[in-house]
Structure 1
Amino acid sequence: MLKRDEQQRYSRQMILPEFGLAGQESLKAAKVLMVGAGGLGCPVLQYLTAAGVGIIGVVDHDVVDISNLHRQILYNSSDVGRFKAVVAKQKLELLNPHITINAYPEKLTPENAGSLMSNYDLVVDGSDDFTTRYLVNDVCVELGKPLVFGSVFKFEGHVAVFNYHNGPGYRDIFAEAPPENEVPNCAETGVIGVLPGMVGTYMANEAIKIICGMGEVLSGKFLTINSLDNSVNVFNVTKQTAASPGSSLKKETSPGNYEISMDEANQWLAQNSNEVYLVDVRETYEYDDYNIGGVNIPLYELTEQAGTLPVHKKVIFCCQTGQRSKMAVQLLKPVFTGEMYSIKNGIF
């Protein structure tokens, strides 16, 4: 039952016919765990708190750094050096005193992930490292929890909903994590400050739709946003794997046979150049800055140009880290009958 001041606070969303009183009561009854209180976590937490989600958990072992402040707008200069989860709890409680915020200033690990996540209905992943992303996905699969995922890289953002009504998971796009020391982070590559806000609000919107049972959820979809050219694309994702109970926390999914090393790719290109077709799926500005040859077809244009790929040659996809090239193979599986390969760990 909503109190009178709660009805007044949420009145602008409650008058929406698709939302109404039932939607607000669903939010109040919901329990959401936010993994990561950084660039993505800040807008997600602020909007879910403002919307009236009843219980929100915040997991983050990191402290506020001055270099965070251009994009993590929940914090200010006086918060530098303090645990993000603790600061977030204090500020979110000021934003909405009608909800409960649980702070977990600790690292999410295989030992504590299950116990933490089992207490919540929905998990939102705003982490910035692959180890955590795979852990969150695998535990959600084990527990049957829906997962809202988001990530940012330079000027590009990604949003998806995984494990929703037994739908596709993160591993159905990226079956295997690259080595951590070979993946660039924001400190090395940079990120435009407004991008996490754009992606984070999308993530919060997906969480609200899932909780309230309204609209079309990004399950089986992978949304990309490019803040430089304003392109927004949605790719279809099919379920590729069937995880057996208990397996996902014990070992990584074995890599698909479509992955080859950079050395193998170079060998193929040197020995059988007429039988190999190299496709760089990065953005045009990335390709122009540095490339190893081949044609440039940005990932978001790939399905439209699938008909231009030669079915009688080995098609090799490449990108900076190997993640977009793996996704390229997954996207084209339903429509391309030729041999496809991805350069593992990218071209750098």
Structure 2
Amino acid sequence: MQPLVDPTPALDPAELVRTARHAVLAGIGEEGQRRLSASHVAVVGAGGIGSPVLLALAAAGVGTITVIDDDVVELTNLQRQLAHRAEDVGTAKTVSAVRAITALSPGAAVVPETVRLDAANATTLFADADIVVDTSDSFATRRDVAAATEALGIPLVWGAVQEWHAQATVFWSAPPAGHDAVVLADLFPPGTEGEPPSCAQVGVLGALCVQIGGMLAAEVVKLVTGAGEPLLGRLAVIDALTARQHEIALRPAVTA
């Protein structure tokens, strides 16, 4: 797949040093790093999955990161939400996320959006983004995120965690020629998805949030730089309890 983002003309000397291990990585290199620097990624949620996504994107050198979350840090979050610290309890997660991102990547532009994403504001929040990462835990929010990215024609990197289990994929309503468009409704037809129990009810493995967050960040890096094969058309399913991972093929739903 072709790179999604055109490269910025140059990186400053400190960023060249900071990201030097990407410059020697097959599939990224110095040009790919300049593509990452030019990219704008919007992340929905700064919680269990969103935290490691944000940290990984900042470390990778993504130039602009929009963080969308209306919640505050609670003590129970710290078991899995690695962007936040004990002293952040009671602080807006967007504020804590800005601190974490800039500590890793001082040159990154961080756009905090301390709002509840919904159908009315999602398209506006994503308007300038190259990619959206959805780490939300509500199907209502997931549907609103999906609808906005489909309308804009931009890739949606999607992940979910519950208890010991996780899923990850890439949805894209307008992929390059030769790739089928796959959207959220192809995985969860409207009216069939239900509402998952909260992590307060059934629990969640903190380390699995880090694992799936890293996977989603890797999908962003691949899409931006054109490296490797993205998860478009494939759902990765992880069972941390048995240390097994498998894939399910996703195809556009057949309509009558």
Is 1:97 equivalent to 2:106 in the alignment?
yes
Is 1:77 equivalent to 2:86 in the alignment?
yes
| Runs of 4+ that moved beyond 3 A | 177-180
Q: Which residue of 2 aligns with 1:185?
A: 198
Residues 99-132 of structure 1 deviation map (CA, whole Å, 9 limit, x = unaligned) = 1011001100111111111111100000011001
Is 1:236 equivalent to 2:249 in the alignment?
yes
Structure 1 regions of 5+ residues with no counterpart? 243-255, 257-348
TM superposition shift of 1:241: 6.0
CA distance change for structure 1 residues 176 and 3 in 2, over 3 Å: closer, same or farther?
same
Distance 1:241 1:139 in 2: 22
Q: Which residue of 2 aligns with 1:283?
A: none
Please give the secondary structure, in 1, of the residue aligned with 2:79.
Answer: coil
Distance 1:131 1:177 in 2: 11
TM superposition shift of 1:153: 0.9
Distance 1:94 1:24 in 2: 19
Q: Percent identity?
A: 36
Q: Which residue of 2 aligns with 1:218?
A: 231
Distance 2:93 2:33 in 1: 28
TM superposition shift of 1:187: 0.9
Conserved 8 A contact 2:101-2:108: no
Across the two proteins, how many residue pairs are aligned to each other? 242
Is 1:207 equivalent to 2:220 in the alignment?
yes
Residues 183-238 of structure 1 deviation map (CA, whole Å, 9 limit, x = unaligned) = 31111111111110010000000010000011010000000111010110011111
Is 1:153 equivalent to 2:162 in the alignment?
yes
Distance 2:196 2:39 in 1: 35
CA distance change for structure 1 residues 178 and 78 in 2, over 3 Å: closer, same or farther?
farther
Structure 2 regions of 5+ residues with no counterpart? 1-9
Please give the secondary structure, in 2, of the residue aligned with 1:148.
Answer: strand
Using CA pairs under 8 Å that are at least 6 residues apart, name the structure with larger relative contact order, 1 or 2: 2
Q: Which residue of 2 aligns with 1:338?
A: none
Distance 2:254 2:96 in 1: 39
CA distance change for structure 1 residues 66 and 177 in 2, over 3 Å: closer, same or farther?
farther
TM superposition shift of 1:2: 0.8
Please give the secondary structure, in 2, of the residue aligned with 1:194.
Answer: helix
TM superposition shift of 1:76: 1.3
Distance 2:232 2:35 in 1: 20
Distance 1:231 1:52 in 2: 31
TM superposition shift of 1:17: 2.8
Conserved 8 A contact 1:131-1:177: no
Is 1:59 equivalent to 2:68 in the alignment?
yes
Match of 1:8 among 3, 17, 33: 17
Please give the secondary structure, in 2, of the residue aligned with 1:38.
Answer: coil
Distance 1:159 1:177 in 2: 21
Conserved 8 A contact 1:42-1:73: yes
Conserved 8 A contact 2:44-2:136: yes
Conserved 8 A contact 1:130-1:177: no
TM superposition shift of 1:91: 2.0
Is 1:169 equivalent to 2:177 in the alignment?
no
Distance 1:241 1:170 in 2: 14
Give the structure-1-normalised TM-score.
0.67
Please give the secondary structure, in 1, of the residue aligned with 2:67.
Answer: strand
